Amino acid sequence: MRTKKISVLISTLVLLSSFISPSAHADSTLNVSFVLINPATGSNAGAGNGVSVRAVNRDGGDPPGGRTDNNGVVTFAIKAQQYTLGGYCGSCYTGQYITDYLVIAKSDSSVEVLSADGAPVTKDASGNWMLTTQQVRKAVGNDPWQLMTTKPNVASNIARMAWLLTNGKILVQTTNDSEIANWWTITPDIDGNYYDGTWTQVARIPNYNPWAYNGAVLHSGNFFVTGGEVNFSDAKVFEENNNKSYIYNVSSNTWTEVAPPNNGQGIWAHIAAPPFVKLADGRIMIGNFSDRDPSSSHESMLFDETTMKWTITGTNKTGMNSEAGFSLLPNDKVLTVNTDGGGITAEIYDPATGLWSKTGALPVALSNGEIGPALALPSGKTLAQGATGANALYDPVTNTWAAAPNFPKLNNGMQLSAPDNPTAILPNGNLLTVTSYIARDTGNMDIMGPARYFEYDVSSNAWLPVIDDLMLPPSSSSSVYMKMLPLPNGQVMVINMRANPGSGGIAFYTSKGSPNSSWAPVVDKISDAALTPGKSFSVSGKQLSGLTQGATFGDEFESATNYPLVRVVNNSSHHVFYATTSNFSTTSIAPMVPSTFDFTIGSNFENGPSKMYVVANGIASAPVDVTISGGYDKVAADKVVSDKAAAELKAKQDAEAKATADKAVAPKKTTITCVKGKNTKKVTSLKPVCPIGYKKK
């Protein structure tokens, strides 16, 4: 993601390409005009909307960006070659990115325009190619998507990244208009729902406001964050490829800075957004990102929280780390698909030896200078998604690869691909993926919206389309700006950083189907079934961290969830509570691997008989009967509330009865008519008397 930092600095159209092969083209130019249509009105979008075109072969001859005139028209002088086109419609709704297009200008002066969403592109009566955008769809019955209903209480904060803490809360980094990062936790409601969770601001890190970086929950239960292709100081001073790292202590709400690898010397003067993984033993492994030069060292570094030190490892790696990713395997080793060498080689790191070895040959090329995410499935195989549109399955038992289905092609023939996109495991064992990239025949890729969701269906070995989310029009969504996080309730949280400030930009996806019972954590023993606050308890069992890392992005934005959480559900109220887990003996994703961990409960846990579950990657163990004491006495609290309500009701009823009784015994007034000549007066009272000079009629 080396070029994506540009999009952080300016709010313009983002169109990325890398490793482009040059192609010959005529020097002559032709004028091509486009009209931007607002789909909400069906008429042109008017003046001032930005539209840009960029040459696919990246020859540096891009025409300058333009803005539509009063008729919504913009004209470009282009050469006989291919261009990607996109823009931003500020007059459409609250302002949205338009659908992206491929413009093919030919040497015979003819032009072909293809829409990235597969819709036919036509001209208006004036010969202008008609561009448009999409509206956000409306929710349908049994919609798999659910919008977040709560937001941070600070204006202009857009969610960027999220991790699942060991207390069941979500740690979220947001960024405001001034590039200042704030940190929050989202606490689920009493029923375990996150969509209406409570936002609480926590400590922030001074002068650390990163983009494109990595983080992980450590075995201690603390949280580790490192690097950033882009960073801003609090005074908005720009820094590229920083080497900062920090640990967040959840219980004390404090951040501690970690010294950089090799004290920041040599190639470790920068960390940026390197390949990143948390090993099964809890150490963090990062690769040297700045190794594009073949003569550079492809070494990695290991961080150990117990010593707070970095050590060098993996010095024999043959492929480069730049733009690559590290993926944990069920045998505790690490897989990487190399981004050089044509994208057809991969290597395996063994923590026991600190060395790399080669895998079998890939059946298809996956890398295009970038690489997609690679995530272990419950079956033990790893699905690697390719920047080329091709995909492959790795079997760690045989150390061999097999081709997986390509991403679908669009109706216009363009090939979807996954050079930079998130993916997450679903409880049904499928993978949820979103992509908005097109693999081009010139050997590069472009961001071309709208974004599209798919589930990789394990049983049918096929990519199944998923309905658009409810956050934004899909033409405004881009997979590089989207992040995924599996939650303990089985949903996947999706962040869209292109959301308008203050609009949320968070949705939750619920898949169909249920997990195979063999994928669930197995609890063998709990140190005590009588749980009280202020005391630590231990759990031993098997497969307690699940069979997959849960989520990955590639070389940045990692948010793995392969560690155990503890959910407690009160038998009477069915209210949901999460304990705080720590001291994981291992977070291996090997089948039935034994492990242990500790947990504590909070004083807010409701007293009484309850069911306890160990949860990993949204899949829960069989329930364990426990009893909570010394926590929240809901029965007594409910009785206080009930007694107060009963007293208030009785007081109200007594007042109403008194008023009725008073009204029943109250004497009635009488009205008489009094006359004096032609004058008449009526007098009303308990004992009416005519005025002087008047007589009762």
Count of beta carbons in the 10 Å neighbourhood of residue 111: 15
8 A C-beta contact, residue 38 and residue 91: yes
Torsion of CA 589, 310, 373, 362, to 10 degrees: -90
Alpha-carbon span 621 to 539, nearest angstrom: 12
Alpha-carbon span 617 to 597, nearest angstrom: 16
* Residue 20: pLDDT band with limits 50, 70, 90: very low
8 A C-beta contact, residue 337 and residue 349: no
What integer pLDDT is reported at residue 21 of this predicted model? Answer: 31
530-531 vs 624-628, strand pairing mode: parallel
8 A C-beta contact, residue 362 and residue 337: yes
Tens digit of pLDDT for each residue in 563-605? 999 999 999 999 999 999 999 999 999 999 999 999 999 999 9
Count of beta carbons in the 10 Å neighbourhood of residue 306: 10
What integer pLDDT is reported at residue 609 of this predicted model? Answer: 98
Alpha-carbon span 58 to 56, nearest angstrom: 5
pLDDT of 479 > 50? The answer is: yes
CATH number, domain 5-131, options 2.70.180.20, 3.30.70.20, 3.50.50.60, 2.60.40.10: 2.60.40.10
**Of the given ranges (411-415, 417-421, 579-583), which has the lowest mean pLDDT?**
411-415
User: What CATH number has the domain spanning 152-322?
Assistant: 2.120.10.80
Alpha-carbon span 104 to 82, nearest angstrom: 5
Write out the H or E segment, with its range, that includes residue 674: strand 670-676
CA-atom Rg of the chain in angstroms: 32
What integer pLDDT is reported at residue 558 of this predicted model? Answer: 96
**Range 522-632: architecture per CATH:** Sandwich (2.60)
Distance of CA 63 to CAs 82, 299, 357, 490, Å?
12, 41, 47, 48
Give backbone dihedrals phi and psi of 185, rounded to 5 degrees, phi first: -120, 145
What integer pLDDT is reported at residue 24 of this predicted model? Answer: 36
Alpha-carbon span 629 to 48, nearest angstrom: 65
Between 370 and 447, the higher pLDDT residue: 370
**Which of the 8 DSSP states describes residue 534?**
T
Most confident of 87-96, 118-127, 188-197: 188-197
**Of the given ranges (184-193, 226-235, 680-689), which has the lowest mean pLDDT?**
680-689
**Of the given ranges (28-32, 139-143, 384-388), which has the lowest mean pLDDT?**
28-32
Tens digit of pLDDT for each residue in 425-441? 999 999 999 999 887 65
Tens digit of pLDDT for each residue in 535-556? 999 999 999 999 999 999 988 9
**Which of the 8 DSSP states describes residue 225?**
E
8 A C-beta contact, residue 386 and residue 366: yes
Alpha-carbon span 539 to 536, nearest angstrom: 10
Count of beta carbons in the 10 Å neighbourhood of residue 73: 18
pLDDT of 133 > 60? The answer is: yes
Alpha-carbon span 382 to 366, nearest angstrom: 14
Alpha-carbon span 671 to 57, nearest angstrom: 102
Alpha-carbon span 32 to 51, nearest angstrom: 13
Give backbone dihedrals phi and psi of 309, rounded to 5 degrees, phi first: -130, 155
Cis peptide bond prior to 450, omega within 30° of 0? yes
Q: Sheet of 374-376: strands edge to edge? A: 374-376, 382-385, 391-395, 400-404
Between 460 and 96, the higher pLDDT residue: 460
Boundaries of every domain in the chain: 5-131, 152-322, 522-632, 634-665, 667-697
What integer pLDDT is reported at residue 445 of this predicted model? Answer: 65
pTM for the model: 0.88
